[in-house]
Structure 1
Amino acid sequence: MAALWVIVAMSVAGGVGAGCRFVLDGFVKARVRLAYPVGTTIINVTGSFLLGLVTGLALAHALPSEWRLILGTGFLGGYTTFSTASLETVRLAQEGRWRASALNAFGMLAGSLIAAALGLWLGGLTA
Structure 2
Amino acid sequence: MSPALVIAVLASGALGALARYGISLAFIRATRFPRAVLVVNVAGCLLGGGVLALSDGGIIDSGLHLILLTGIAGGLTTFSTFSVETLQFALSGRWRAAVANVVINLVLGLGAAMAAYFIVYWFLLLNQYQP
Please indicate, yes or no, whether the TM-score normalized by the shorter chain is above 0.5.
yes
Which residue number in structure 1 is paired with residue 7 of structure 2? 8
Aligned partners of 2:67, 2:18: CA distance in 1, in Å?
A: 16
Would you say the 8 A contact 1:55–1:123 is kept in 2?
no
Runs of 4+ that moved beyond 3 A: none
Report matched runs for 1:80-119 at 5 Å: 80-119=77-116
Equivalent AA in structure 1 for residue 9 of structure 2: M
User: Which runs of 5 or more residues in structure 2 are unaligned?
Assistant: 126-131
Pick the aligned partner of 2:73 from 62, 76, 81.
76
Q: CA deviation at 1:64?
A: 2.3
Tell me the number of residue pairs that the alignment of Structure 1 and Structure 2 aligns.
124
CA displacement 1:8-28 (0-9 Å, x = unmatched)? 100110011011101101212
CA displacement 1:59-98 (0-9 Å, x = unmatched)? 1012222111101111100100000000000001111111
Q: Sequence identity of aligned pairs in percent? A: 32
User: Which runs of 5 or more residues in structure 1 are unaligned?
Assistant: none
What is the RMSD of the two structures over their aligned residues, measured on CA atoms? 1.2
- Higher Cα Rg: structure 1 or 2? 2
CA displacement 1:23-74 (0-9 Å, x = unmatched)? 10121223xx422101101110111011110111111012222111101111
Aligned partners of 1:46, 1:29: CA distance in 2, in Å?
A: 18
Which residue number in structure 2 is paired with residue 59 of structure 1? 56
TM-score by length of 1: 0.91
